[in-house]
Amino acid sequence: MTTASDTRPDLDFCTELAQQLRVDSVVMSDRAGSGHPTSSMSAADLVAVLLGRHLRWDLQAPDDPHNDHLIFSKGHASPLYYAMLHAAGAIDEPELRTYRRLDSRLEGHPTPRMSPTDVATGSLGQGLPIGVGIALAAKELDKLPYRVWVLCGDSEMAEGSMWEAFQYAGWRGLDNLTAIIDVNRLGQTRETMLGHDLDAYAARVSAFGWHPVVVDGHDVAAIDRAYTEAQHTSGRPCAIIARTLKGRGVAAVEDKLGKHGKPLDDATAAVAELGGFRDLRVEVQRPDLGAELHRFTATGGTRPTWEVGTEGSTREAYGAALAWLGATREDVVALDGEVSNSTHSDEFASAEPDRYFEMFIAEQQMVAATVGLGVRGWTPFASTFGAFWARAYDFVRMAAVSRADLRLCGSHAGVAIGADGPSQMALEDLASMRAIHGSAVLHPSDANQVVPLMEEMADRGGITYLRVLRGTTTVRTPADERVHIGGSRTVRHDQDDEVTVLACGVTVDEAVDAADLLAAQGIGMRVVDCYSVKPLDADTVRRAAAETDALITVEDHRPEGGLGDAVLEALAAEPVRPQVHKLAVDVMPTSGTPEELMKAAGIDAEAIVALVHRVRTASEAHL
Q: Which of residues 98-137 bind a copy of itself (CB under 8 A)?
A: 100-104, 106-109, 111, 113, 120-125
Rule CB under 8 A: say whether 444 interacts with a copy of itself. Answer: no
The three-class DSSP label of residue 471 is coil
Report the nearest approach of a copy of itself to the CB of residue 269 (Å): 24
Cβ closest to a copy of itself, residue 301 vs residue 422: 422
Collect all residues with Cβ–Cβ distance below 8 Å to 164 and sequence separation of at least 6.
129, 362, 364, 365
| Count, residues in the chain | 623
Site string for a copy of itself, 252-291 (x = CB under 8 A): ----------------------------------------
Residues in 188-217 at the binding interface with a copy of itself, rule: CB under 8 A: 188-190, 192-193, 200, 203-204, 206-208
8 A C-beta contact, residue 606 and residue 599: yes
Q: Residue 147 or 246: which CB sits closer to a copy of itself?
A: 246
Q: Residue 308 carries which side chain, given as an amino acid letter?
A: V
Cβ 355 vs Cβ 326: under 8 Å: yes
The kind and range of the H/E element at 490 are: strand 489-492
Helix (H) or strand (E) holding 498: none
* Nearest-approach distance from CB 132 to a copy of itself, in angstroms: 12
Distance between CA 143 and CA 30 in Å, rounded? Answer: 44
Q: Which residue number, 362 or 483, has a Cβ lying nearer to a copy of itself?
A: 362
Does the footprint of a copy of itself cover residue 32 (CB under 8 A)?
Answer: yes
Strands 440-442 and 69-72: unpaired
Of 1-9, 31-39, 61-69, 226-234, the window that binds a copy of itself (rule: CB under 8 A) is: 31-39
Task: Decide if 139 contacts 180 (C-beta within 8 A).
Answer: no
CB of 589 to a copy of itself, least distance (A): 9
CB of 204 to a copy of itself, least distance (A): 4
Interface with a copy of itself (CB under 8 A), residue from 299, 593, 613, 617: 593
Write the interaction track for a copy of itself spanning residues 333-362; mark x where CB under 8 A is met and - where it is not: -----xxxxx---x-----------x-xxx
CA distance 477 to 343: 21
Answer for which of 160, 275, 377, 478 binds a copy of itself (CB under 8 A) is 160
Look up residue 51 and give its amino acid.
L
Q: In a 3-state reduction of DSSP, which class is residue 89?
A: coil
Interface with a copy of itself includes 577 (CB under 8 A)?
A: yes
Query: In the complex, what is the shortest distance from the CB of residue 179 to a copy of itself, in angstroms, rounded to a whole number?
Result: 15
Distance of CA 485 to the CA centre of its chain: 20
The nearest distance, CB 353 to a copy of itself, in angstroms, is 12
Strands across the sheet containing 332-336: 356-358, 332-336, 379-385, 406-411, 463-467, 440-442, 532-534
x/- letters, 368..407, toward a copy of itself (CB under 8 A):
-------------------xx-xx-xx--xx-xx-x----
CA distance 96 to 32: 10
Instruction: Compute how many residues bind a copy of itself; rule: CB under 8 A.
Output: 116
Residue whose CB is less far from a copy of itself, 401 or 508: 401
Residues 6+ apart with CB under 8 A from 203: none
Q: Tell me how crowded residue 572 is: count the other CB atoms within 10 A of its CB.
A: 8
* Distance between CA atoms of residues 461 and 451, nearest Å: 18
Concerning whether 191 is annotated as a catalytic residue, the answer is: no
Where on the phi/psi map is residue 162: left (φ > 0), alpha (ψ -120 to 50), or beta?
Answer: alpha
What mask, x for binding a copy of itself by CB under 8 A, covers residues 544 to 563?
A: --------------xxxxx-
CA gap 424, 419 in Å, rounded: 10
From 164, 316, 352, 363, active-site residue: 363
Q: Report the run of H or E that residue 409 belongs to, with start and end.
A: strand 406-411
| Residue 581 lies near a copy of itself (rule: CB under 8 A) | yes
Answer for which of 19, 20, 167, 449 binds a copy of itself (CB under 8 A) is 167
Nearer to a copy of itself, 140 or 596 (CB): 596
Query: Least distance (Å) from a copy of itself to the CB of residue 445?
Result: 21
Question: Which residues, numbered 521-540, are part of the site for a copy of itself (CB under 8 A)?
Answer: 534
Question: 301 or 559, CB closer to a copy of itself?
Answer: 559
**591 sits near a copy of itself (criterion: CB under 8 A):** yes
Could you give the CA distance from residue 547 to residue 79 in angstroms, rounded to a whole number?
58
Question: Among all residues, which ones are annotated catalytic?
Answer: 363
